[in-house]
Chain A
Amino acid sequence: MATLEAAPETHDAAAAPPLLAITDLTVSYGPVRALKGVSLHVEQGEVVALLGANGAGKSTTLRAISGLVRPRAGDIRLRGSSIMRLPPAKIVRNGVAHCPEGRRVFASLTVAENLRLGAASREDASGVDEDREKLLSLFPILRTRRNQTAGTLSGGEQQQLALARALMARPSLLLLDEPSLGVAPLLVRDIFRTLGQLKRQGVTMLLVEQNLSLALDIADRAYVLRTGEVRLSGVAEDLRDGERVAEAYLGSR
């Protein structure tokens, strides 16, 4: 039996605290424990992938960070201060934007209205206008469709809108849940190219993704979750050895 170990979560106490630090996070849905003491961290400017099979607890981790589920134990710290008991709106205000699984754009609102709500947590009107222009240049299709209702967009266009809406909050940490899900393969490449661009611009991301190779291409580091626990973690390149990741996914046989 191969020994699979998650690298211990250590952090130089003298250095500034990481952008996001999760320690021993436990989340239960009723009697079911979805997360059993997950610890991970994301440094400023990093892209970190969260991998694992369905039901491993990836989305739950993101939902806990955003305050949509209340953890039973553990801590979630943003730049050293706990955000775990804050309501979701406050967490967005603190700089965490969440681009949810299944896109969840507001179908009956127009593209422009969706983007406007993405900035609901901000008060700097001129900065919002500036960011909207930047994002419409980054996603030109959204400019074309800005007065259409979001429900009329294709899956790929909705994903771009969901991403742009999250970025309208000008987040210091972007949580991305399965951006490739339900998107045509060609558009998936586009979306990851855009994520690469965002990475170069210094956007910090925590990315949940089923597509391993896409995720490891863009990520600096990755964690593999299985049944609510971190089974493997490390630098993305080191995880390209498929066998270890597969074992962490599926358990050792």
Chain B
Amino acid sequence: MDYADYLIQQGINAISLGSLYALVAVGLSIVFGILRLTNFAHGDMMMVGAFSTLLSSLAGVPFLWGIGIGVVAGAAGGMIMERVAYRPVRGAPDVTLLLTSLAVTYILENLGILVFGSSPKNFPLPDWLDTSWEFRDGALTFTSINVLTVALTVVSLLFLGWFVTRTTTGLGMRAAAEDMGAAHLVGLNVNRLIVAAFALASAYAGLAGVLWAAQAGVVQPLMGFTPLLKAFVAAIIGGFGSIGGALFGGYLLGTLEVAIVAFLPDEISPYRDPIVFALLIVFLLFRPGGILQPNREEKL
């Protein structure tokens, strides 16, 4: 029975970590799908979300409302980023877009350091979130943050599924991702769709940032960097540009990382990140379209 408990516990960890990767990867894929832009500054919307929640908590806003503020702040950050940085270079070569996104990352991260300082700040949780449930004499532990992460991920992904299949804006975003010219021809306002894509993607990053900070207990301006790289790997593995692929890749990567630490010898587990990035290289070499291969035409 002990081993079964261990497996279940690792499963919980995997789903929790995978949820965070999925939330970040989905946003990367939404923006890439419509603009063919790999937005490295996407991770910085996690910082925007987390710090907004932190500031609202310090101001006495109840935590659940604070999460909402983090999500909205992320969305607003994404819209501003699109307007200020990406719209002026719309239609420029891919390299220009890539360099622009790196520049935006550096500016945002240094701005974060300037405003908040580079040292990690304590991320206070309300008492009801600082609890955990133990089963089987402590062999199984659910923290309420795990539960909240999974619950909010499921709810927000259900919302995403509804949005991209039932609303004209969501359908339009998928249409524009597939064929921008035809989207123009049916009378879709592509500018508005692109803004909506950034808002949606960054809202998910904001949510991921809050949950990430809640799990880590601290926030700092560079917090988005590692999750962004991981989400990038997840999106590639799943199939870049596809929402389903991002979710699949996110959970797959979360499971893989937990498995590396849980099941491989202790001498290997420190190499978790190199293994993950080696996997990225393998995919880029042999299956650049990812497991789900969204579209056969090159997407990368």
Contacts and interface: CB of A to CB of B under 8 A. Distances in A.
Interface of A: 66-68, 87-89, 92-93, 97-98, 100, 104-109, 113, 116-118, 120-121, 165-166, 169
A106 B187 contact: no
Contacts of A116: 168, 171
Contact of A89 (B178, B181, B190): B190
Contacts of A120: 168, 172, 186-188
B130 interface: no
Interface residues of B, number: 18
A166 B185 CA distance: 9
Contact of A88 (B171, B172, B174, B184): B184
Nearest to B165: A113
Contacts of A105: 182
B182 A104 contact: yes
B178 A100 contact: no
Contacts of B183: 117
Given A116-B171, A117-B171, A169 B186 contact: yes
Contacts of B171: 109, 113, 116-117
B172 A68 contact: no
Given A104-B179, A106-B175, A109-B175, A88 B168 contact: no
Contacts, number: 67
Given A106-B174, A106-B178, A113-B165, 19 more contacts: A66-B184, A66-B185, A67-B184, A68-B185, A88-B184, A92-B187, A93-B187, A97-B185, A97-B186, A98-B185, A104-B181, A104-B185, A105-B182, A106-B179, A109-B174, A116-B168, A120-B188, A166-B186, A169-B186
Interface centre among A93, A104, A105, A169, by most chain B C-beta atoms within 10 angstroms, is A104
* Closest 9 pairs between A and B when the two form their complex, measured CB to CB: A92-B187, A121-B187, A88-B184, A104-B182, A106-B175, A89-B189, A98-B185, A120-B188, A89-B187
A108 B178 contact: yes
A68 B181 contact: yes
A74 B179 CA distance: 29
